[in-house]
């Protein structure tokens, strides 16, 4: 996919490593809130209830806000990784997939704010479609982004871990979808934990990018 059309979108006054730092803070914040809710929401069985069940009821507004923050973190990380790669290793495909995933997360959050009371049937359709879109797009983007690391000397050593980690998330997602015993809330939360961990790891790598380059001895 050509990068010419999206190149101007990334000419922002924020360095790639700064995108990584901001994304890491937001991603860690989401994880802390999501984990904390497993303890404070005694009305839900954490092993059975999917994370989306926590979007309504006590602290539902907090988690819906964190969903939107997670979406912004994903976009920020996508922008940072795109800008942090050599031009020959860049691709618009993972960036666009990350953006679609982020928008889908925002749709889940906003839809769960108003639709359950106003249009229950529409809410179920919107929630299921947006959630599935978010999962599929983010895991596919992770695979594609990891694959692009092969073309950048600074990121090539990250490729094996990044790609295997992303592939594990992708396969676990399809196991969750296709194998009925793996369809419970516990597996869904594990997928979310792994995906957000992958994103956080890459945000930290991006934040450390300049320092890592300075630590490596120059060839020759």
Confidence check: pLDDT of 50 > 50: yes
Confidence check: pLDDT of 29 > 50: yes
Please indicate, yes or no, if residue 39 is contained in any of the structural domains. yes
Please indicate, yes or no, if residue 191 is contained in any of the structural domains. yes
Q: What angle do CA 107, 140, 82 make, to 5 degrees?
A: 90
Q: How confident is the model at residue 2 (pLDDT cuts 50, 70, 90)?
A: very low
User: Helix count (H) and strand count (E) of the chain?
Assistant: 7, 0
Please indicate, yes or no, if residue 198 is contained in any of the structural domains. yes
Please indicate, yes or no, if residue 124 is contained in any of the structural domains. yes
Cα(131)–Cα(136) distance, rounded to whole angstroms? 9
Cα(7)–Cα(128) distance, rounded to whole angstroms? 33
Confidence check: pLDDT of 7 > 60: no
Mean local confidence (pLDDT), 20-29: 96
The pLDDT assigned to 214 comes to: 39
Residue 204: domain span? 7-211
Q: Tens digits of per-residue pLDDT, 132-172?
A: 999 999 999 999 999 999 999 999 999 999 999 999 999 99
Q: Decide: helix, strand or coil at residue 119.
A: coil
179 or 98: which carries more pLDDT confidence?
98
Kindly report the pTM of this predicted structure: 0.88
Please indicate, yes or no, if residue 1 is contained in any of the structural domains. no
User: What would the two tokens of residue 6 be?
Assistant: 């999206």
The pLDDT assigned to 122 comes to: 85
Cα(168)–Cα(44) distance, rounded to whole angstroms? 28
The pLDDT assigned to 111 comes to: 86
The pLDDT assigned to 212 comes to: 58
Please indicate, yes or no, if residue 27 is contained in any of the structural domains. yes
Domain count along the chain: 1
Q: How confident is the model at residue 112 (pLDDT cuts 50, 70, 90)?
A: confident
Measuring CA to CA, which residue among 163, 97, 107 is closest to residue 136? Answer: 97
Mean of all residue pLDDT scores within the chain = 88
Whole-Å CA distances, 101 to 132, 143, 156, 189: 9, 14, 25, 17
Whole-Å CA distances, 92 to 38, 75, 89: 36, 13, 10
Please indicate, yes or no, if residue 217 is contained in any of the structural domains. no
User: What would the two tokens of residue 195 be?
Assistant: 């995906």
Burial class (CB in 10 A: 0-12, 13-18, 19+), 171: exposed
The pLDDT assigned to 217 comes to: 42
Please indicate, yes or no, if residue 216 is contained in any of the structural domains. no
Mean local confidence (pLDDT), 211-216: 50
């Amino acid at each position: 996919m050509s990068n010419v059309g999206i190149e101007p979108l990334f000419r922002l006054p924020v360095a790639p490593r700064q995108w990584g730092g901001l994304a890491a803070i937001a991603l860690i914040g989401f994880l802390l809130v999501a984990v904390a809710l497993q303890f404070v929401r005694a009305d839900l069985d954490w092993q059975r209830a999917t994370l989306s069940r926590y979007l309504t009821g006590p602290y539902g507004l907090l988690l819906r806000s964190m969903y939107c923050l997670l979406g912004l973190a994903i976009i920020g990380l996508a922008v940072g990784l795109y800008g942090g790669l050599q031009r020959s290793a860049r691709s618009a495909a993972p960036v666009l997939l990350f953006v679609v995933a982020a928008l889908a997360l925002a749709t889940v959050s906003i839809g769960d704010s108003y639709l359950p009371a106003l249009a229950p049937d529409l809410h179920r359709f919107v929630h299921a479609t947006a959630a599935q879109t978010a999962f599929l797009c983010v895991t596919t983007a992770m695979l594609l982004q990891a694959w692009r690391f092969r073309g950048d000397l600074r990121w090539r050593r990250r490729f094996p871990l990044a790609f295997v980690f992303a592939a594990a998330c992708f396969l676990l997602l399809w196991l969750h979808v296709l194998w009925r015993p793996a369809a419970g809330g516990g597996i869904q939360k594990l997928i979310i934990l792994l995906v957000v961990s992958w994103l956080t790891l890459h945000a930290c790598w991006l934040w450390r990018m300049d320092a890592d380059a300075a630590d490596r001895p120059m060839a020759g």
